[in-house]
Amino acid sequence: MTRMHKENSLSKNQQIIFDLIDKSPEPLKAYTILYNVQKKGINAPPQVYRALDKLVEVGKIHKIESKNAFVACKNSDCEISKATAFSICESCEVVDEISDIKLSKYLSSFNHKKGMKFKRFNLEFFGLCKKCK
Amino acid sequence: MTRMHKENSLSKNQQIIFDLIDKSPEPLKAYTILYNVQKKGINAPPQVYRALDKLVEVGKIHKIESKNAFVACKNSDCEISKATAFSICESCEVVDEISDIKLSKYLSSFNHKKGMKFKRFNLEFFGLCKKCK
DNA sequence: TTACATGCTGTTATATTATAACAATTCTAA
DNA sequence: TTAGAATTGTTATAATATAACAGCATGTAA
Ligand SMILES: [Zn+2]
Ligand SMILES: [Zn+2]
Ligand SMILES: [Zn+2]
Ligand SMILES: [Zn+2]
């Protein structure tokens, strides 16, 4: 495989899987991804999960924890995913990444009474989107 | 089974499983729960998951989505779990439910630009607890 | 009473999500 | 060019969660 020199580049499998997630209008589950990349020679779950792990690590995608599904970051990689917020429609299941500076600042500077210093947060809002309400 | 008349009461299985979670200093996973209640005659996963679903629904417990584990609500049942926030230590895995009125109000009144009205949120903070940092 | 609806239970089987373990190859920096 | 790191490919298995069906208890309506 033609490999570029460094840092920002994704490996072959990572790129294939990122492209699929990035094109998708909805969060994708790991096995949905697997079925959709088998034609590209990715045959087994570990190949998918490894790529997903890496993509999450570098902030190219996020995991929607309440759905076990993955979306591409729409938000300059969220400072490597330290501060993520999503709106999730309980009816049509559409997920949008929220990018609200005030919200992000507010939560990033939130300090726990018990002396814990937070490095990261994930926030998931649920409701009905415009179309569904 | 002796059935009480209504509302607040939990069924036998629900009570057994709630008691176990409530006593636990840490979040419990479904199969950990299963192993621990087999002596009480709860033998199969659906029995556990059904009780968990109900307990979540009535706000007696919460699911920590990033860990697939359950904790008892420490916070007057969080208005039936409409507004939950947790701190999670990435080292020792201790989880605390955050009850911060200002935070809760701020998030409950947060409105999405795209016109979505939120009914519920779940927030998970990650970091190192006092002991681990 | 009978009939029906609801909620809980028990059970088997299966679906879905995720990782362990190992071998081989490719990339990168020195 | 060579050693380490990252990535890949592969098989098997672990961990998490639900489908489907049957039974029983309670409450309510006919
Ligand atoms: Zn993002
Ligand atoms: Zn919708
Ligand atoms: Zn609570
Ligand atoms: Zn800790």
- Asked if B125 contacts A120 with a C-beta cutoff of 8 angstroms, the reply is yes
Q: Which of A68, A78, A110 to mutate to test binding with chain B, by most B CBs within 10 Å of its CB?
A: A110
Q: Dmax of chain B from CA atoms?
A: 52
Residues A65 and A92 in one domain: no
pLDDT digits (tens, 9 = 90+) for A78-124: 777 799 999 999 988 899 999 999 999 999 999 887 888 899 999 99
Cross-chain Cβ contact A127/B118 below 8 Å: yes
Indicate the residue of A103, A119, A125 with minimum beta-carbon distance to B118: A125
Are B20 and B59 contained in the same domain? yes
B52 and B91 both lie in a single domain: no
Which range of residues forms the domain containing residue B28?
3-72
Task: Name the percent of chain B lying above pLDDT 90.
Answer: 77
pLDDT value at A4 more than 70: no
The tens digit of pLDDT for each residue in A38-64 reads 999 999 999 999 999 999 999 999 999
Residues B90, B60, single domain; the answer is no
Q: Is residue A78 part of a domain?
A: no
Report pLDDT for A75: 86
More confident residue, A113 or A132: A132
CA distance A56 to A38: 21
CB A90 within 8 A of CB A126: yes
Nucleotide nearest to A30 (CA to C1'): C17
Which CATH number is A118's domain given?
3.30.1490.190
Whether residues B8 and B56 fall in one domain: yes
Return the pLDDT at B77. 62
Q: What is the CATH number of the domain that holds A57?
A: 1.10.10.10
- Give the predicted TM-score (pTM) of the model: 0.92
CA A45, distance to chain mean position in Å, is 18
Contact B96 A112 (CB under 8 A): yes
- Report yes or no on B65 lying in a domain: yes
Question: Does B7 share its domain with B68?
Answer: yes
Judge if A110 and A58 occupy the same domain.
no
Please tell me whether residues A7 and A68 are part of one structural domain.
Answer: yes
What pLDDT, on the 0 to 100 scale, is given for residue A133? 80
Q: pLDDT over 70 for what percent of chain B?
A: 93
Please compute the mean of the pLDDT values over residues A13-19 and round it to a whole number.
Answer: 98
Domain identity same for B53 and B10: yes
pLDDT tens, residue by residue, B56-110: 999 999 999 999 999 999 987 677 779 999 999 998 889 999 999 999 999 999 9
| Domain total in chain A | 2
Residues A56 and A96 grouped into a single domain: no
What pLDDT is attached to residue B103?
Answer: 96
Euclidean distance between CA atoms A7 and B55, whole angstroms: 47
Of A4-18, B66-80, B109-123, which range is least confident?
Answer: A4-18
Same domain (yes/no): B111, B66: no
- In this complex, which residue's CA is closest to the C1' atom of nucleotide D8? A47
Tell me whether residue B44 is in a domain. yes
**Residue B117's CB: how many other CB atoms inside 10 A?**
12
A58 and A88 share a domain? no
| B127 vs A106, A113, A119: nearest CB | A119
pLDDT score, position B5: 39
What does the pLDDT read at residue A53? Answer: 98
Euclidean distance between CA atoms A104 and B106, whole angstroms = 12
Ligand closest in space to the Cα of B92 = 4
